Amino acid sequence: MPPSAPTPIRLTPADAERYARLRRKMLAEAPWAFDAGPDNEQGVAHDVYARMFADDQHAVLAIATAYSWGLTPGQPDLVAAAGITRMRAQKFAHRARIWGVYVDSAHRRRGLGRAVVSAAIRCGRGWAGVDYLDLGVSENSPEARWLFEGLGFKQWGREPEATDHGAQRFDEIYMTMKLKRS
């Protein structure tokens, strides 16, 4: 039986550089899955992430190699991450958006994706007044859609040919989860 996935950590500004490294990897490897592209400066600048991680309306939950593979001195590389951002506009402050879900290809199918998205959902539940978690997933990422469905997200819409990758265009599938509050 595989070991259970490690508990994700919430990144701080001190993690910005290693998150930027993971971000470059995700944009290069799966450009269809993310809004930004590998040549998009906003998507790779670590100072952008340092500011983001200092803002309590954003969170990135991540897993580093050392948690799964034994001890490494210093800051081990991140291998899995999921972001969540609370909508700022007053009319949308009851919603948060999940983004940037990625697991390094060498670490897939071991529960890391489920662990980071579950941690993002817990973070959303912890934000008072947030009742819905939203996300968009490319039709070219069926494994991500299955992951989200397994965690309770429901599809509510589909945008035809939402993204253009030169030779191919992919629909975007929109999903949401209503948080149950006790």
Residues of the shown chain interacting with ligand COA in the complex, contacts defined by CB under 6 A: 30, 33, 101-103, 108-114, 137, 141, 143-144, 146-147, 150
Distance between CA atoms of residues 123 and 54, nearest Å: 15
Residue closer to ligand COA, measured from CB, 16 or 147: 147
State the nearest-atom distance from the C-beta of 21 to ligand COA, in Å. 15
Nearer to ligand COA, 62 or 103 (CB): 103
Give every strand in the sheet of 132-138, ordered side by side: 9-10, 58-64, 78-86, 95-103, 132-138, 169-178, 154-164
Q: Amino acid identity of 167? A: A
Q: How many CA atoms lie within 13 A of 158 on its CB side?
A: 9
**Closer CB to ligand COA, 20 or 82, in the complex:** 82
**Residue 87 half-sphere exposure toward CB, CA atoms < 13 A:** 16
CB 136 within 8 A of CB 175: yes
Which residue's Cβ has the minimum distance to ligand COA?
113
* Residue 113 CB, nearest approach to ligand COA (Å): 2
Closest separation between CB of residue 76 and ligand COA, Å?
A: 17
Measured from the CB atom, the residue of 46 and 110 that comes closer to ligand COA is: 110
Q: Residue 18 is which amino acid?
A: R
Residue 35 CB, nearest approach to ligand COA (Å): 10
